[in-house]
């Protein structure tokens, strides 16, 4: 009996050790997962920061440089990453740029939320435009993300010049997306057809044009597609506030980009030309 009792006690001890072993394995497995997660962050955090196009810097609330956390290639202030620490912001950038960044930083600190502003700098002999986004990190530090937006600003200015030119021509010019939404219209078209809704909302078939329904627009668009994206036709119309029918010569061009279609319409009033031609025929 004594041997049986000892054997039974030993079996219980073995089962107890097995259970402890199982629990230890689960705990170890959980620890390994947590370790892998942390090591991934430690391994890739620097690489992620280095891959960003922004200059990332940390300042304290007194505007003293703490550290540049992006790679050296993003640095555009003329102060090396090593010399950045302990340097005052106002000593890094020109007065006007500092004024814009300073105001944005104070706004971020006061609100406790991210804030965006813009400044300009000369870098490598060229004038650049930058967007600065500032985020409070805690009660002592802020993160400043500066991105070079020179190309965007240049494109926007060119577009504004282009729009200004189009507004001065006598022809009506408009651009329509695939679903019939007006994306662009010059001043002439807006005045002639009484456009009241904003671009991106106004539908072409809700205006007094030859395509008076969505179905009519879709048929016209298909005609343009069937003609390799270029199509010309004549269309009768009435100017806003007038009751006399006039005639337009319309030229269309379909542009495809990024799986989207945009149809441009260039319309010229030929009413007087037709009237002169008819008068000449009568003579």
**Higher-scoring residue by pLDDT: 136, 245:** 136
Tell me, what's the pLDDT at 109? Answer: 94
Q: Provide the 8-state DSSP code for 194.
A: T
Task: Please tell me whether residue 233 adopts helix, strand or coil conformation.
Answer: strand
Residue with tokens 């890094």: 92
Beta strand 65-68 with 115-123 is unpaired
pTM of this structure: 0.52
For residue 272, give both structure tokens.
Answer: 């007087």
Model pLDDT for residues 167-193, shown as the tens digit of each residue: 776 788 899 999 999 998 888 888 888
Shortest CA distance to 250 belongs to which of 268, 236, 237?
268
- Contacting residues for 42 by C-beta, under 8 A, at least 6 apart: none
What pLDDT was estimated at residue 228? 92
Residues 36-79 pLDDT 10s = 555 666 677 677 777 777 888 899 999 999 988 887 777 788 78
Say whether 68 sits in a helix, a strand or coil.
strand
Answer yes or no: is pLDDT of 259 > 90. Answer: no
State the pLDDT at residue 66: 92
**Upper half-sphere CA count for residue 117 (Cβ side, 13 Å):** 19
Report the pLDDT value the prediction gives residue 9, as an integer from 0 to 100: 64
Among 104, 55, 66, 116, which residue's Cα sits nearest to residue 88?
66
| Per-residue confidence band for 8, with pLDDT thresholds at 50, 70 and 90 | low
Q: What is the pLDDT of residue 34?
A: 56
């Amino acid at each position: 009996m004594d041997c049986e009792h000892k054997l039974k006690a030993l079996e219980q001890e073995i089962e107890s050790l097995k259970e402890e072993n199982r629990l230890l394995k689960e705990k170890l497995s959980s620890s390994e997962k947590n370790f892998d997660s942390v090591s991934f962050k430690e391994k890739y955090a620097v690489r992620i920061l280095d891959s960003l196009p922004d200059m990332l810097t940390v300042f304290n609330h007194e505007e003293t440089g703490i550290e540049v956390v992006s790679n050296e290639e993003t640095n555009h202030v003329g102060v090396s990453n090593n010399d950045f620490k302990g340097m005052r912001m106002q000593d890094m950038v020109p007065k006007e740029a500092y004024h814009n960044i300073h105001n944005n930083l104070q706004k971020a600190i006061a609100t406790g939320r991210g804030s965006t502003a813009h400044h300009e700098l000369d870098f490598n002999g060229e004038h650049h435009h930058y967007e600065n986004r500032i985020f409070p990190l805690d009660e002592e530090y802020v993160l400043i993300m500066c991105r070079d937006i020179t190309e965007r600003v240049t494109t926007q200015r060119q577009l504004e010049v282009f729009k200004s030119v189009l507004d001065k021509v006598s022809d009506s010019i408009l651009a329509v997306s695939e679903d019939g939404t007006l994306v662009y219209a010059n001043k002439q078209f807006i005045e002639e057809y009484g456009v009241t809704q904003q671009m991106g909302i106004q539908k072409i078939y809700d205006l007094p044009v030859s395509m008076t329904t969505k179905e009519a627009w879709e048929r016209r668009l298909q005609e343009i597609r069937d003609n390799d994206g270029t199509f010309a036709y004549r269309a009768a119309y009435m100017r806003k506030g007038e009751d006399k029918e006039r005639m337009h010569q319309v030229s269309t061009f379909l542009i495809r980009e990024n799986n989207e279609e945009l149809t441009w319409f260039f319309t010229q009033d030929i009413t007087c030309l037709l009237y002169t031609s008819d008068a000449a025929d009568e003579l």
